[in-house]
Chain A
Amino acid sequence: MKNLMNKMMNTCKEISIQVTNDEDLSAVDRLKQMIHLMMCPACQKFYKQIQYLNQGIRKIKIKDVDVADLSEKIINKYKQCFFH
C-alpha cells in the first residue's frame, strides 16, 4: 500500500518545482498536486510562502533604462531620407 502511494504521489521536491514555476498542469497532475498539498503540511506552508513571494516579486520595479537616445539614433539611421 505504501509502495502504491509512493508511486502515485509526487515528492515534495517535485511539488516545489511545480509551484515555483506556476505551471499549467494536466488534470491528472493538478489532482496529484491537490492531494499532495492536502496531506502535506510542509508543502502547504511552502505553497503559501510562494504566493506571498510572488506578490512581493510583482512589486519589483524594472529599472527604467533610458533608451530614447538609442531609439532616435536607430530611427534616424533607417528612415527613408526624402531630402537629399
Chain B
Amino acid sequence: MYDIYMDSFSSPEFLKSLKNREASAISALVNKYNKTLYNAAFGMGMNSDQTQEVVQEVWASFFENIENFEGRSHIRTYLFGFLYNKAKEFWRTKKRHSEHEEYDVLVDSQYDGSGHWQAKPVDPEEFAAQTQTIGKIEECMEGLKDIQQKAFHLKEVLGLSGEEICNILDTSHTNLRVLIFRAKQRLRICLEGLVKR
C-alpha cells in the first residue's frame, strides 16, 4: 500500500484553504476521495440511492466539523470516521441476520473434527486454469454468503485496510479473519468444482 500519510492534503496550507472553503481545495479533496467513499458505502449493502444519500451526509458532517480538525490525523482518516458513524447507524437498523455466523457448513465440511483435511485440494496446476479464466471468480462470488461477499469485496477488490473494513462492517478483526477465510475457501471450492476430474 502507498503511504497515505505523506501527501499535499497533510499540509497546513491545504487545511487552511479547506477551512476557507476555497473551491480548489474542496474540489481536490472531493475528487480524490468521493469514489472510495462511495464504493465503501456501497460495499455495506445499500442501494445506489441510499449510498448517494449517505455519501452526502458524510460530507455534510465533514464540513460541519472541519473547523475543529487540527490535522493530527490524516484527513482521509478524519473523513472516513464520519462514514463509520453512518455505518454503525446502518447496521443498528438492519436485522442481525447479517451478523457473524458461527458455522459455515460447506467450509467446515472440508476439515474433520480435529482440523485436518477431509476433502483434499486438487492439483494446483489444474486449478490455476479456472482462476485465470475471466469471469469465473466473479461467477463463484455469487455463491458467497452476504457478509462474506461484503468483506471480500471491501478487502480484496477495493483494497481497504482491515481496520477500515472492521469499522465499516462493524465487526471485529477476529470475525473479519474468519470471513475472509470462508470467502476464499468457498471461491476455491467453487472453482475446484469446475476442474474436470
User: Are the CB atoms of A11 and B116 closer together than 8 Å?
Assistant: yes
Contact with B along A18-35 (1 / 0, CB 8 A): 001101000000000000
Q: List, in ascending order, chain B residues with CB within 8 A of A75's CB.
A: 23, 26-27, 30
A55–B137 Cα distance when bound, in Å, is 11
User: Are the CB atoms of A12 and B117 closer together than 8 Å?
Assistant: yes
Q: How large is the interface on B (under 10, 10 to 19, 20 to 34, 35 or more residues)?
A: 35 or more
Q: List, in ascending order, chain B residues with CB within 8 A of A53's CB.
A: 131, 137, 184, 187-188, 191
A45–B120 Cα distance when bound, in Å, is 8
User: Are the CB atoms of B158 and A62 closer together than 8 Å?
Assistant: yes
Q: Which of B8-16, B82-90, B121-129 contacts A (4 or more CB under 8 A)?
A: B121-129
User: Are the CB atoms of B184 and A70 closer together than 8 Å?
Assistant: no
Task: Pick the residue among B21, B52, B181, B188 that contacts A80 (CB under 8 A).
Answer: B21
Q: A7 on the interface (CB 8 Å rule)?
A: no
Least CB distance from B81 to A in Å reads 17
Given contacts A60-B157, A70-B55, A79-B21, contact A46 B134 (CB under 8 A): no
Given contacts A80-B20, A80-B22, contact A65 B157 (CB under 8 A): no
Least CB distance from B2 to A in Å reads 16
**A contacts with B: majority SS:** helix
Contact with A along B30-55 (1 / 0, CB 8 A): 11001100110010000000001001
Q: List, in ascending order, chain B residues with CB within 8 A of A12's CB.
A: 111, 115-117
Q: List, in ascending order, chain A residues with CB within 8 A of B157's CB.
A: 57, 60, 62
Q: List, in ascending order, chain B residues with CB within 8 A of A56's CB.
A: 131-132, 136-137
User: Are the CB atoms of A20 and B120 closer together than 8 Å?
Assistant: no
Q: B180 on the interface (CB 8 Å rule)?
A: yes
Q: List, in ascending order, chain B residues with CB within 8 A of A73's CB.
A: 56
Give the B-binding residues of A (Cβ under 8 A).
11-14, 16-17, 20-21, 23, 42-43, 45-46, 48-50, 52-53, 55-57, 59-60, 62, 65, 67, 70-71, 73-75, 77-80
A-B contacts, 27 of them at CB < 8 A, read A11-B111, A11-B114, A13-B115, A21-B181, A42-B120, A49-B128, A52-B132, A53-B137, A53-B191, A55-B132, A56-B131, A56-B136, A56-B137, A57-B156, A60-B137, A60-B138, A60-B156, A67-B34, A67-B35, A70-B52, A71-B31, A73-B56, A74-B30, A75-B30, A79-B21, A79-B22, A80-B23
